Structure 1
Amino acid sequence: MNNEIKRATGLLVIEVVNSNANGDPDRESDPRQRPNGCGEISPVSFKRKLRDLLDDHDAPFFKALPEKFRENEEHYYILEHRGRERAQIKSEMGKDPSQFLDSEFVRKYWDARVFGNTFLEDGGDKGFIKTGVVQFGMGVSLAPIDIIRQTNTNKAGVQEGKNAGMAPLAYRIVEHGVYCMPFFVNPNYAAKSGCTADDIELLKLLIPHAYEQNRSAIRPDVRIRHAWYIEHKNILGSCPEYLLLDALAPEKRGNKTDPSTSWNDYEDKTALPQELLARVESCVDLVSL
């Protein structure tokens, strides 16, 4: 089934409205920001949203997935689940690397098949998987972002006498930003990780719901405006990927160094130009699907 996976280039266009899409632990959970003022959303952060969506098999979201996934839920567990025991993982991987693709580990963990595995990379034991079929790049805002910092208040303080009812500057959000995050599907690694065409199909189903099904108090309004998925005509790639990414990225109107205030500040791209479309197998927006 591995040979059914097609090479693909993807681009997420993410709008952040009065939310913190990805806090920086090195800066007291401020929204991630580069020295030039542009915001960031890390690949790890986005993949965590996908993992969390799939991790809860009792949730309405999982029960709404197509039948072939629901009826085979034992194949769609998450490796990077909190509290996972390392000894258990080692036993599931087996001792013979030549039998790895037939192991319980490969059959069980969707994220290890798709994203690869660094879970066991400590000391001298590096496991069997080096990388995955799907890689997400850094999401970077198209313009600098304004960060708003305010104090959270609570009617009843947690500790008496210590800023009772207040968390100084705990509310840190991006007023508005539009981020582009590329991702890449490389079937060349499928035979090493055990990734299947069904695994990629599930990924495509998860992506549009990554934020809307994972809202939080600090992240109430993060919108995936587009989730472009472009399949190539061959495994080597039928068009340079940077051309596809550049063609679908929105463009900010006016002064590009000023933070945006709404989606209307951008010129949206709603289709791939015909000359590039002719060079690929297909181009779809997973959000509209």
Structure 2
Amino acid sequence: MTDAIKNRYEFTILFDVENGNPNGDPDAGNMPRVDAETGYGLVTDVCLKRKIRNCIEVLQEDKAGYRIYIKEGIPLQTSDKQAYTNLNIDQKEIKKLKKDDPQKDQQIRNFMCRTFFDIRAFGAVMTTFVKDNLNCGQVRGPVQLGFARSVDPIMPQEVTITRVAITTEEDAAKKNTEMGRKHIIPYALYRVDGYISANLARKVTGFSEEDVAVLWQAIINMFEYDRSAARGNMAVRELIVFKHDNELGNAPAYKLFDTIKVRRKEGVIAPRQYTDYQVEIAEDKIPDGVTCERMI
């Protein structure tokens, strides 16, 4: 494993959706998520991490050290057992082994972090190890994302569609078409802020500069290889990265995020494309010891 990062990072992602549903809420008929008090759109951190994981799989194709732990069709327990197999650990003897060798917790954690990119980045709760009373069962990752929030309030629409795929043979004898519905947002621009802790990377997972480069590539392309008619046209429009010149940083994260202003252009009432907005960075307000780079 290469050396862990030595610099703290913060970053801001701007992405948009056109005629699609970026993150449906299953408790609300799969409608786009909305802050009920303000009308601003929301996309969960879990949704965005899923897109990043999917993109990593496409870009790295199970390259050593870049496998994905949380993925469809593979139980977490199956992946957990790889650590026991690789380290020649008999699960039935784990309590005795841990007593004889207190370092086993760390060895198991290090194996999982080396093997799976998303554990190294986002952390994980590994149930097998938790049940076996190992201290490595919960790993806190250095990369964290909040909820994405739309720049302006959104106006979700329910669109009625006609489909020729009849559900049952009985219904097919009575009619040729059925009605369906889908939820869309005509247009919305979303912003999400993220963090990378060099301190956690060094102490816990070993997240490296190579990993950072892969993460930026995955963020930039997270909608490019995962298209869906339900999500409409989605694209990452900006990735703005703040890099501190040391592990603990030179300024509070909120001061850096406050230097980024995203607003509608004058005269635009109902935005329908990215060029209806302007993005400005107050570079003169960025503290010494912090650099800012627009990756897109």
Equivalent residue, structure 2, for 1:59: none
Equivalent residue, structure 1, for 2:193: 182
Q: Which whole-Å deviations, capped at 9, do the CAs of 1:21-76 have from their partners, x for residues lacking one?
A: 111111111111011110001111011011112224xxxxx2xxxxxx67x81211
Instruction: Name the % identity.
Output: 23
Could you tell me which of 139, 142, 153 is aligned with 2:151? 142
SS in 2 for 1:211: coil
User: How far apart are the structure 1 equivalents of 2:6 and 2:24?
Assistant: 34
8 Å CA contact 1:13–1:249 kept in 2: the answer is no
Equivalent residue, structure 2, for 1:11: 12
Question: What amino acid maps onto 2:184 in structure 1?
Answer: I
SS in 2 for 1:12: strand
Aligned pair in 2 of structure 1 residues 144, 254: CA closer, same or farther (>3 Å)?
A: farther
Q: Which whole-Å deviations, capped at 9, do the CAs of 1:108-144 have from their partners, x for residues lacking one?
A: 1110111000242876757433310100111011211
Aligned pair in 2 of structure 1 residues 156, 247: CA closer, same or farther (>3 Å)?
A: same
Q: Over aligned residues, Cα RMSD in angstroms?
A: 2.7
Equivalent residue, structure 1, for 2:49: 47
Quote how far apart the aligned CAs of 1:203 are.
Answer: 0.4
User: How far apart are the structure 2 equivalents of 1:119 and 1:113?
Assistant: 13
Question: What amino acid maps onto 1:97 in structure 2?
Answer: D
Equivalent residue, structure 2, for 1:99: 107
Once the two structures are overlaid, the 10-residue window that deviates more, 108-117 or 259-268, is 259-268
User: How far apart are the structure 2 equivalents of 1:123 and 1:152?
Assistant: 48
Equivalent residue, structure 2, for 1:244: 256
8 Å CA contact 1:151–1:166 kept in 2: the answer is no
SS in 1 for 2:81: helix
Correspondence list, 1:74-85, <5 A: 74-85=64-75
User: How far apart are the structure 2 equivalents of 1:54 and 1:167?
Assistant: 38
Equivalent residue, structure 2, for 1:157: 166
Equivalent residue, structure 1, for 2:87: none
Equivalent residue, structure 2, for 1:273: 283
Equivalent residue, structure 1, for 2:91: none
5+ residue gaps, structure 1: 57-61, 63-68
SS in 1 for 2:64: helix
User: How far apart are the structure 1 equivalents of 2:122 and 2:200?
Assistant: 10
Equivalent residue, structure 1, for 2:80: 90
Equivalent residue, structure 2, for 1:173: 184
8 Å CA contact 2:5–2:207 kept in 1: the answer is no
Matched residues, number: 270
User: How far apart are the structure 2 equivalents of 1:101 and 1:124?
Assistant: 13
8 Å CA contact 2:199–2:248 kept in 1: the answer is no
Question: What amino acid maps onto 1:148 in structure 2?
Answer: Q
5+ residue gaps, structure 2: 85-93, 95-103
User: How far apart are the structure 1 equivalents of 2:156 and 2:244?
Assistant: 39
Question: What amino acid maps onto 1:98 in structure 2?
Answer: Q
User: How far apart are the structure 1 equivalents of 2:235 and 2:106?
Assistant: 43
SS in 1 for 2:113: helix
SS in 1 for 2:15: strand
Equivalent residue, structure 2, for 1:111: 118
User: How far apart are the structure 2 equivalents of 1:87 and 1:240?
Assistant: 39
User: How far apart are the structure 1 equivalents of 2:122 and 2:274?
Assistant: 31
Question: What amino acid maps onto 1:244 in structure 2?
Answer: L
Instruction: Name whichever structure is richer in strand by fraction.
Output: 2
SS in 1 for 2:288: coil
8 Å CA contact 2:14–2:192 kept in 1: the answer is yes
TM-score by length of 2: 0.81
Quote how far apart the aligned CAs of 1:19 are.
Answer: 1.3
Aligned pair in 2 of structure 1 residues 141, 99: CA closer, same or farther (>3 Å)?
A: same
SS in 1 for 2:55: helix
Aligned pair in 2 of structure 1 residues 231, 165: CA closer, same or farther (>3 Å)?
A: farther
